[in-house]
Structure 1
Amino acid sequence: MNTKGKSILVVEDDEKIRNLVSLYLMNEGYEVWEAKDGEDAKEKFLQYDPCFVILDLMLPKTSGEEVCNWGLLNE
């Protein structure tokens, strides 16, 4: 399957929500990576370079807003 343009990073600290969102996206043919907190999100963003990020703003360790600002600064 060609996943170019179809990769998504799901950043959510609630495991049930994260798994559900990921499952729906995978069923639609997206390549999905998951992160459970802001630090994990930064690592996965650098590792996989996703085309799209679904980002929870209220995360442990590093807030979603900080992750978003970091991502914009590192483009």
Structure 2
Amino acid sequence: MRQLLNHISSNNFVEIWRPVLEYRKSTRKLTTDLIKNPYGQDWKQRFEQLRQETSQTKQEIHAVKIATRVQVTYST
């Protein structure tokens, strides 16, 4: 990487190579982020949280349906 930067700066190709450098910087940033936080860890945690919330919501809906049926049965 350092050789590429030296070559670019010495030959005044900065404008031509700017997209290449930006791509390289973004790739390096992504790689660093993936090393610090392996791919999927956040996703897995969030998915598990959503699964638990969905399960809880389903249980609450089921309880409301049962309570509604009981009220309808007693009121008729």
Structure with more of its chain in helix, by fraction:
2
The TM-score with structure 1 as length reference comes to 0.24
Q: Which of the pair has the greater relative contact order for Cα pairs under 8 Å at 6+ separation?
A: 1
The TM-score with structure 2 as length reference comes to 0.24
Structure with more of its chain in strand, by fraction:
1
